[in-house]
Chains A and B, each alone.
Chain A
């Protein structure tokens, strides 16, 4: 079962614009991660935010976490065509061997 649901399912923007993706989850978490997947390839870790953090930055990425609303957002600033990919949020907990449960993903297309 999916823990998280990303919104929107698909997003198309022009190069240079900002892209915002949202993730909602159902149960309490200890941390939330964002991963990127190029078409048919393996997932690549982007950023991790812990439950006691509200915002985190990494290069052109900005992640926020609102545990009261059980939601997170990923902002990619000044997008590039190379950012075209699917983006997934993943939630982790201390129980059950620390598996990550992935959301449904947002397909981002950045056009020139």
Chain B
């Protein structure tokens, strides 16, 4: 158990639907990252939050949105789902924004949420 909790573990839904993935970071970690892993795209960075604020944005579609709440848990909302959105979605957390100003943040990953869009 890494300390990062993701729910649900598995989710099967239909095209056009909307789902919410939830992440609780490791105790004490302030930063949350979302990644999407699919066979054809590999591991893609989606978005990062630090202490409730968006800090970095990656290849996140406009149909996707996320937020980090005051208790530091985060949610990733995926809407108007398409077949191509089927993937493993990982949440990761890290302690501080910039540990020593060299960008050396070590990420702790959750077990992932496997989304299947039919």
Contact B101 A92 (CB under 8 A): no
Contact B105 A105 (CB under 8 A): no
A97–B30 CA distance with the chains assembled, in angstroms = 12
Within 8 A of A (CB), among B1-34: 2, 4, 31, 33
Contact B56 A88 (CB under 8 A): no
Contact of B103 among A40, A92, A103, A104 (CB under 8 A): A92
Contact A99 B48 (CB under 8 A): yes
Contact A41 B102 (CB under 8 A): no
Which chain A residues lie closer than 8 Å to B58 at the CB level? 99
- Tell whether A45 pairs with B102 under 8 Å between CB atoms, given A97-B48, A97-B97, A102-B42: no
Contact B107 A43 (CB under 8 A): yes
Select the residue from A96, A97, A101 with max chain B CB neighbours within 10 A: A97
**Please, which residue of chain B has its CB at the minimum distance from the CB of A2?**
B42
Contact B109 A48 (CB under 8 A): no
Contact B59 A97 (CB under 8 A): no
Interface size class of B (residues with CB under 8 A): 20 to 34
Contact A45 B98 (CB under 8 A): no
- In the assembled complex, 17 residue pairs joining A and B whose CB atoms fall closer than 8 Å, in A order, are A1-B59, A42-B2, A42-B110, A42-B111, A43-B43, A43-B107, A93-B103, A97-B31, A97-B56, A97-B97, A98-B97, A98-B98, A98-B103, A99-B56, A100-B105, A102-B42, A102-B43
- Tell whether A41 pairs with B106 under 8 Å between CB atoms, given A1-B59, A100-B45: no
Chain A residues in the interface with B (C-beta under 8 A): 1-2, 30-31, 33, 35, 40-45, 48, 50-51, 88, 92-105
CB distance from A1 to the nearest CB of B (A): 7
Contact B104 A30 (CB under 8 A): yes
Contact B56 A42 (CB under 8 A): no
CB distance from A10 to the nearest CB of B (A): 14
Which chain B residues lie closer than 8 Å to A92 at the CB level? 103-105
Which chain B residues lie closer than 8 Å to A30 at the CB level? 102-104
Told that A50-B102, A88-B43, A98-B103 touch, could you supply 8 new A-B pairs with CB distance under 8 A?
A30-B104, A33-B106, A35-B109, A40-B88, A93-B103, A98-B48, A98-B98, A100-B45
